[in-house]
Amino acid sequence: MAASSPPGSVSTEDLVHLRRAVALARDALAAGDKPFGTVLVDDRGRVRFEDRNRTSGGDSTRHPELAAAQWAAEHLTPAERAASVVYTSGEHCAMCSAAHAWVGLDRIVYAASSEQLASWHREWGVAPGPVATLPIGAVAPHVRVDGPVPALTEEVRALHAALHGVEG
């Protein structure tokens, strides 16, 4: 079952969903959006929702993690939400962490952390965004979190390097 991994570990099944999230991030980049992708999986391991970043139209809140929380609020019972896992290419920002917790979703598995992303931005001279870089736990302390996942670091870094036109 998707939500049954012991705390702190990433299973083979987790990696499958995480790789899909990274593929969605790649799709986002190809479409002119930022490279973030998200998959929501229920307690039977079924993918129920997936999306990618869609901010290029001018609405900077169109993060896939927020879309997943909003979809879950509309389509899943509280018990289903509490048993679902959200996989994402990059750690939730503060806005999405709050939405995730407010709708009662539980575990998050991410490929690259916000701190990794911020350190890449510093290295590349990219200005910080308008929202403080906070780990999920600082915003949503009761949500179980696994990540970063070293096997995917280089792939995610390369997507963000391409976004900013730098050598990964």
Ligand X SMILES: Nc1nc2[nH]cnc2c(=O)[nH]1
- The residue ranges that bind ligand X (CB under 6 A) are 34, 36, 53, 55, 63-65, 90, 92-93, 96
Residue 18 is encoded by which pair of tokens?
Answer: 């995480």
Q: How far is the CB of 77 from ligand X (least distance, A)?
A: 26
Q: How far is the CB of 36 from ligand X (least distance, A)?
A: 4
By beta-carbon proximity to ligand X, the closer residue of 41 and 156 is 156
Max Cα–Cα distance, the chain, nearest Å: 45
Burial class of residue 64, CB neighbours in 10 A (0-12, 13-18, 19+):
buried
Long-range CB pairs of 56-60, under 8 A, 24+ apart, other chains included: 56/31, 56/32
By beta-carbon proximity to ligand X, the closer residue of 90 and 104 is 90
**Side-chain-facing half-sphere of 77: CA atoms under 13 Å:** 3
**Nearest residue to ligand X, using CB?**
63
By beta-carbon proximity to ligand X, the closer residue of 45 and 135 is 135
Q: How far is the CB of 81 from ligand X (least distance, A)?
A: 19
